[in-house]
Amino acid sequence: MVISGNTSGSIHQVVANIPSEIISYSLVNKTGGAITVTIYIIETGVAQVAITPYQVSLAVGEAYVSDTKVLVPANRSINIVTSGSLDYYVSIQ
Give the pLDDT band of residue 44 (cuts 50, 70, 90): confident
Tens-place pLDDT, residues 1-24: 999 999 999 988 888 888 999 999
Q: Is the pLDDT of residue 46 over 90?
A: no
State the pLDDT confidence band at 43, using cuts at 50, 70 and 90.
confident
* 8 A C-beta contact, residue 81 and residue 38: yes
Give the pLDDT score at 32.
93
pLDDT tens sequence across 52-83: 999 999 999 999 999 999 999 988 999 999 99
CA-angle at 68, arms to 4 and 30, nearest 5°: 35
DSSP structure string for 39-84: EEEE-TTS--EESS-TTEEE-TT-EEEE---EEE-TT-EEEEEESS
